[in-house]
Amino acid sequence: MDPPARDDAFAARRDRMVDSQILARGISDARVLEAMRRVERHRFVPLDQRELAYGDYPIGIGFGQTISQPYIVAFMTEALALGPDSRVLEIGTGSAYQTAVLAEIARDVYSIEVVREHVARATELLRALGYSNVHVRHGDGYTGWPDAAPFDGIIVTAAPDHVPPPLVEQLRIGGRLVVPIGRGDQDLLVLTRTEDGLREEERLAVRFVPLVRSP
Protein backbone atom coordinates (compact mmCIF):
# COMPACT_ATOMS: atom_id res chain seq x y z
CA MET A 1 0.00 0.00 0.00
CA ASP A 2 1.27 3.46 -0.87
CA PRO A 3 1.25 5.59 2.30
CA PRO A 4 -0.97 8.68 2.25
CA ALA A 5 0.67 12.08 2.26
CA ARG A 6 0.84 13.77 5.67
CA ASP A 7 -0.73 17.15 6.36
CA ASP A 8 1.75 18.53 8.88
CA ALA A 9 -0.50 21.42 9.91
CA PHE A 10 -2.20 19.02 12.35
CA ALA A 11 0.78 16.75 13.10
CA ALA A 12 1.56 18.29 16.50
CA ARG A 13 -2.07 17.96 17.62
CA ARG A 14 -2.09 14.36 16.50
CA ASP A 15 1.05 13.56 18.46
CA ARG A 16 -0.41 15.19 21.58
CA MET A 17 -3.60 13.17 21.10
CA VAL A 18 -1.64 9.92 21.03
CA ASP A 19 0.58 10.82 23.97
CA SER A 20 -2.11 12.16 26.31
CA GLN A 21 -5.24 10.22 25.33
CA ILE A 22 -3.93 6.85 24.15
CA LEU A 23 -0.42 6.04 25.32
CA ALA A 24 -1.13 7.49 28.77
CA ARG A 25 -4.17 5.18 29.13
CA GLY A 26 -2.22 2.01 28.54
CA ILE A 27 -2.33 1.32 24.80
CA SER A 28 1.08 -0.20 24.11
CA ASP A 29 0.98 -1.89 20.68
CA ALA A 30 3.62 -0.01 18.69
CA ARG A 31 1.84 -0.56 15.37
CA VAL A 32 -1.44 0.81 16.75
CA LEU A 33 0.30 3.87 18.19
CA GLU A 34 2.07 4.54 14.89
CA ALA A 35 -1.19 4.16 12.96
CA MET A 36 -2.90 6.64 15.27
CA ARG A 37 -0.04 9.10 14.69
CA ARG A 38 -0.20 8.69 10.91
CA VAL A 39 -3.91 8.74 10.15
CA GLU A 40 -5.10 12.33 9.78
CA ARG A 41 -8.25 12.34 11.86
CA HIS A 42 -9.22 15.86 10.80
CA ARG A 43 -9.83 14.60 7.26
CA PHE A 44 -12.58 12.29 8.50
CA VAL A 45 -14.76 14.79 10.38
CA PRO A 46 -17.12 17.42 8.92
CA LEU A 47 -15.30 20.54 7.74
CA ASP A 48 -16.96 22.74 10.33
CA GLN A 49 -15.61 20.49 13.12
CA ARG A 50 -12.00 20.08 12.04
CA GLU A 51 -10.76 22.15 14.96
CA LEU A 52 -12.32 19.52 17.25
CA ALA A 53 -10.84 16.54 15.43
CA TYR A 54 -8.16 15.67 17.99
CA GLY A 55 -10.29 16.14 21.10
CA ASP A 56 -10.98 13.38 23.61
CA TYR A 57 -14.58 12.74 22.54
CA PRO A 58 -16.71 11.36 19.69
CA ILE A 59 -17.89 13.69 16.91
CA GLY A 60 -21.15 13.54 14.97
CA ILE A 61 -20.83 12.81 11.25
CA GLY A 62 -24.50 12.88 10.24
CA PHE A 63 -27.24 10.29 9.78
CA GLY A 64 -27.22 9.54 13.51
CA GLN A 65 -23.62 8.31 13.47
CA THR A 66 -20.40 9.41 15.15
CA ILE A 67 -16.66 9.08 14.73
CA SER A 68 -15.52 7.36 17.91
CA GLN A 69 -13.33 8.88 20.62
CA PRO A 70 -9.66 8.32 19.64
CA TYR A 71 -8.96 6.13 22.68
CA ILE A 72 -11.82 3.79 21.80
CA VAL A 73 -10.52 3.46 18.22
CA ALA A 74 -7.08 2.58 19.56
CA PHE A 75 -8.44 0.21 22.22
CA MET A 76 -10.58 -1.75 19.76
CA THR A 77 -7.77 -1.90 17.21
CA GLU A 78 -5.28 -3.21 19.77
CA ALA A 79 -7.83 -5.77 21.00
CA LEU A 80 -7.99 -7.30 17.51
CA ALA A 81 -4.29 -8.27 17.79
CA LEU A 82 -3.77 -7.91 14.03
CA GLY A 83 -0.60 -8.78 12.16
CA PRO A 84 0.70 -7.44 8.84
CA ASP A 85 -0.87 -10.36 6.95
CA SER A 86 -4.26 -10.13 8.69
CA ARG A 87 -7.55 -9.79 6.88
CA VAL A 88 -10.12 -7.84 8.88
CA LEU A 89 -13.83 -7.13 8.52
CA GLU A 90 -15.27 -3.86 9.81
CA ILE A 91 -19.00 -3.48 10.42
CA GLY A 92 -19.86 0.21 10.18
CA THR A 93 -17.56 2.23 7.91
CA GLY A 94 -19.02 5.56 9.02
CA SER A 95 -16.44 8.30 8.53
CA ALA A 96 -13.79 5.69 7.55
CA TYR A 97 -11.39 6.85 10.28
CA GLN A 98 -11.35 3.45 11.99
CA THR A 99 -11.08 1.90 8.53
CA ALA A 100 -7.93 3.87 7.77
CA VAL A 101 -6.35 2.94 11.11
CA LEU A 102 -7.01 -0.73 10.35
CA ALA A 103 -5.59 -0.31 6.84
CA GLU A 104 -2.31 0.95 8.30
CA ILE A 105 -1.92 -2.35 10.16
CA ALA A 106 -3.67 -5.16 8.29
CA ARG A 107 -3.08 -6.54 4.80
CA ASP A 108 -6.72 -6.23 3.71
CA VAL A 109 -9.73 -4.43 5.20
CA TYR A 110 -13.31 -5.20 4.21
CA SER A 111 -15.82 -2.63 5.47
CA ILE A 112 -19.63 -2.62 5.30
CA GLU A 113 -21.81 0.45 5.80
CA VAL A 114 -25.60 0.69 5.88
CA VAL A 115 -25.78 4.44 5.00
CA ARG A 116 -25.22 4.89 1.26
CA GLU A 117 -24.03 8.48 1.65
CA HIS A 118 -21.26 7.36 3.99
CA VAL A 119 -20.22 4.63 1.56
CA ALA A 120 -19.74 7.12 -1.27
CA ARG A 121 -17.79 9.59 0.84
CA ALA A 122 -15.65 6.93 2.53
CA THR A 123 -14.75 5.30 -0.77
CA GLU A 124 -13.70 8.61 -2.30
CA LEU A 125 -11.71 9.70 0.74
CA LEU A 126 -9.86 6.41 1.24
CA ARG A 127 -8.93 6.36 -2.44
CA ALA A 128 -7.66 9.95 -2.26
CA LEU A 129 -5.52 9.06 0.76
CA GLY A 130 -3.96 6.10 -1.06
CA TYR A 131 -5.50 3.19 0.83
CA SER A 132 -5.54 0.55 -1.89
CA ASN A 133 -6.02 -2.35 0.55
CA VAL A 134 -9.56 -1.34 1.60
CA HIS A 135 -12.81 -2.68 0.14
CA VAL A 136 -16.02 -0.80 1.06
CA ARG A 137 -19.55 -1.76 0.19
CA HIS A 138 -23.12 -0.86 1.12
CA GLY A 139 -24.99 -3.57 2.98
CA ASP A 140 -26.31 -5.14 6.15
CA GLY A 141 -23.42 -5.51 8.56
CA TYR A 142 -25.25 -8.13 10.60
CA THR A 143 -24.75 -10.65 7.80
CA GLY A 144 -21.08 -9.82 7.29
CA TRP A 145 -19.16 -10.44 4.06
CA PRO A 146 -19.29 -14.21 3.53
CA ASP A 147 -17.66 -14.10 0.08
CA ALA A 148 -14.45 -12.74 1.63
CA ALA A 149 -14.42 -14.90 4.78
CA PRO A 150 -12.74 -16.18 6.87
CA PHE A 151 -11.32 -13.16 8.66
CA ASP A 152 -8.53 -12.91 11.22
CA GLY A 153 -10.44 -10.16 12.99
CA ILE A 154 -13.89 -8.58 12.94
CA ILE A 155 -14.67 -5.19 14.50
CA VAL A 156 -18.20 -3.87 14.99
CA THR A 157 -18.51 -0.11 15.47
CA ALA A 158 -22.21 -0.03 16.35
CA ALA A 159 -24.00 -1.99 19.05
CA PRO A 160 -26.24 -5.00 18.37
CA ASP A 161 -28.25 -6.45 21.26
CA HIS A 162 -26.58 -9.84 20.77
CA VAL A 163 -23.57 -11.29 18.95
CA PRO A 164 -24.54 -11.81 15.28
CA PRO A 165 -24.08 -15.53 14.47
CA PRO A 166 -23.02 -14.84 10.84
CA LEU A 167 -20.03 -12.85 12.09
CA VAL A 168 -18.92 -15.69 14.34
CA GLU A 169 -19.16 -18.08 11.40
CA GLN A 170 -16.95 -15.79 9.29
CA LEU A 171 -14.20 -15.64 11.91
CA ARG A 172 -11.31 -18.05 11.50
CA ILE A 173 -10.31 -20.30 14.40
CA GLY A 174 -8.10 -18.16 16.62
CA GLY A 175 -9.55 -14.93 15.23
CA ARG A 176 -11.04 -12.17 17.37
CA LEU A 177 -14.38 -10.38 17.25
CA VAL A 178 -14.51 -7.01 19.03
CA VAL A 179 -18.10 -5.85 19.52
CA PRO A 180 -20.15 -3.61 21.83
CA ILE A 181 -23.27 -5.41 23.07
CA GLY A 182 -26.46 -3.93 24.52
CA ARG A 183 -28.77 -0.94 24.43
CA GLY A 184 -27.89 2.24 26.31
CA ASP A 185 -24.88 1.35 28.42
CA GLN A 186 -22.97 -1.43 26.69
CA ASP A 187 -20.15 -3.87 27.25
CA LEU A 188 -17.31 -3.97 24.75
CA LEU A 189 -16.44 -7.63 24.34
CA VAL A 190 -13.47 -9.41 22.83
CA LEU A 191 -14.50 -12.85 21.57
CA THR A 192 -11.93 -15.38 20.38
CA ARG A 193 -13.16 -18.26 18.24
CA THR A 194 -11.80 -21.62 19.35
CA GLU A 195 -12.40 -25.19 18.23
CA ASP A 196 -14.91 -25.48 21.07
CA GLY A 197 -16.78 -22.22 20.49
CA LEU A 198 -16.21 -18.69 21.72
CA ARG A 199 -13.97 -17.53 24.53
CA GLU A 200 -15.44 -14.31 25.86
CA GLU A 201 -13.88 -11.49 27.86
CA GLU A 202 -15.65 -8.32 28.92
CA ARG A 203 -13.27 -5.41 28.50
CA LEU A 204 -14.84 -1.96 28.76
CA ALA A 205 -18.08 -0.06 29.43
CA VAL A 206 -18.93 1.90 26.27
CA ARG A 207 -21.76 3.70 24.51
CA PHE A 208 -22.17 3.20 20.74
CA VAL A 209 -25.05 3.99 18.41
CA PRO A 210 -27.28 0.94 17.77
CA LEU A 211 -26.44 -1.39 14.90
CA VAL A 212 -28.92 -0.55 12.14
CA ARG A 213 -29.92 -3.25 9.67
CA SER A 214 -30.94 -2.79 6.05
CA PRO A 215 -34.74 -2.86 5.56
Catalytic residue numbers?
68
Sort 113 into a burial class: Cβ within 10 Å, 0-12 / 13-18 / 19+.
buried
Cβ count within 10 A of residue 3: 10
On the CB side of 70, how many CA atoms lie within 13 Å of its CA? Answer: 31
Nearest to 118 by CA among 69, 156, 62: 62
User: Helix axis angle, 97-105 relative to 116-128, nearest 10°?
Assistant: 40
| Helix, coil or strand: residue 159 | strand
What are the two backbone dihedrals, phi and then psi, of residue 140, each rounded to the nearest 5 degrees? -90, 110
